[in-house]
Amino acid sequence: MSQLGFRLFQLCKTDRSGSFSTRASRLKVLNLVADQLTSGGYKLKDPSGLKPKHIEYLVHKWQSENLSASTIKNRMAVLRWTAQQIGKPNIIAKSNDAYMIPRRENKPEGKAKVLDHQKLAKITDVHTKYSLRLQEQFGLRREECIKFVVSYADQKDHIAVKASWAKGGRARTVPITKESQRQLLNELKAFAGGQALIRSDRNYIEQLRVYEKQTEAAGICKNHGLRHQYVRERYKALTGWECPANGGPHRKDLELVAKQVDIEVRNQLTKELGHNRFNITYTYLGS
């Protein structure tokens, strides 16, 4: 590890904001940044030496690699976080337009996925198996599913997602609307009771690694798609029609009354998903 890489590592470790997955992703990007700046001939020893030319070099490199706009924007968010941490926010432009990064297109088609229960049967770790079923039934994020404690979450007609489980520390509730959800919660009570879906001899990170290895071995990948599927099913149940991503009408084509229903449902789903931006629904449902 280069000296810059080590200092960026220290920067990440001293800031505990965000979920574990957010911090892990941030560290991964900064490791890449350190390697690419070093291989590009920049002999930086400390993040405080970062300048606009370094940002421009990285952006041009990523664009030359034909990375998606989404990937580059995620990396830019990490660079902005870094700039804030070192007290030099002005080394990076406030808008990605300044770097000719195309605006993110909302193309959700193909992201939704149904849990393959034949592949699920190949998973030997029961905690991982239940985590996947929670993703399927409630549209929870992976970290939320692993940290899920049913004795806390089950509130009869809804589940409560604790702030310490959730991305951004945003606690929320998700309604129980199907018998399959109730059945899963009852199974979890018998299996885990007041414990998270982490085996007693493991911590969260160790359980996450087991989850990753077992799902990869079983061929169950890109499991955020289970969340997409859940949201699309919820949209149809609440509106009575398919979302645009599933071939339903686009928002601009809806009649006035239907358009109002669409807005109300999207606002509701935004809260159920633990987001605070209405536009996030375009990613899951289309527009």
Take residue 17 and report the two structure tokens written for it.
Answer: 């904001």
Take residue 62 and report the two structure tokens written for it.
Answer: 């990523």
Nearest to 129 by CA among 114, 111, 149, 115: 115
Answer yes or no: do 142 and 91 share one domain.
no
Q: Is residue 118 part of a domain?
A: no
Q: How many domains does the chain have?
A: 3
Take residue 54 and report the two structure tokens written for it.
Answer: 């370094």
Rounded CA separation 171/271 (Å): 10
Q: Is residue 27 part of a domain?
A: yes
Take residue 193 and report the two structure tokens written for it.
Answer: 């009771």
Rounded CA separation 272/83 (Å): 32
Q: How confident is the model at residue 131 (pLDDT cuts 50, 70, 90)?
A: very high
- pTM, two decimal places: 0.71
Q: Is residue 113 part of a domain?
A: no
> For residue 42, what is the DSSP state?
-
Quick one: average pLDDT of 158-187?
95
Per-residue pLDDT tens over the stretch 37-49 = 999 999 899 999 9
> For residue 64, what is the DSSP state?
H
Answer yes or no: do 58 and 12 share one domain.
yes
Rounded CA separation 207/116 (Å): 21
Beta-carbon contacts of residue 228 (< 8 Å; ≥ 6 apart): 108, 111, 112, 113, 284
Q: ∠ CA(20), CA(21), CA(23), 5° rounding?
A: 65
Average pLDDT, rounded, for the chain: 92
Query: Which sign does the torsion angle of CA 269, 115, 225, 218 carry?
Result: positive
Answer yes or no: do 199 and 272 share one domain.
no
Q: Is residue 108 part of a domain?
A: no
Q: Say how far residue 247 (Cα) sits from the centre of its chain.
A: 25
Per-residue pLDDT tens over the stretch 9-55 = 898 888 877 777 788 889 999 999 999 999 999 989 999 999 999 99
Q: Is residue 104 part of a domain?
A: no
Q: Is residue 106 part of a domain?
A: no
Rounded CA separation 256/264 (Å): 13
Residue 108 pLDDT: 59
Amino acid type, 149: V
Answer yes or no: do 214 and 231 share one domain.
no
Lowest mean pLDDT among 47-61, 95-109, 150-164, 262-276: 95-109
Answer yes or no: do 10 and 66 share one domain.
yes
Answer yes or no: do 20 and 71 share one domain.
yes
Rounded CA separation 240/7 (Å): 53
Q: Is residue 151 part of a domain?
A: yes
Residue 251 pLDDT: 92
Rg (CA), the chain: 21
Residue 162 pLDDT: 95
Quick one: average pLDDT of 198-209?
95
Answer yes or no: do 51 and 127 share one domain.
no
User: Which domain covers residue 72, as residue numbers?
Assistant: 3-99
Quick one: average pLDDT of 201-214?
95
Q: Is residue 267 part of a domain?
A: yes
Per-residue pLDDT tens over the stretch 227-279 = 999 999 999 999 999 999 999 999 999 999 999 999 999 999 999 999 988 98
What whole-number percentage of the chain has pLDDT above 90?
81
- Out of 200, 218, 236, a domain closes at 218
Residue 104 pLDDT: 60
Residue 105 pLDDT: 57
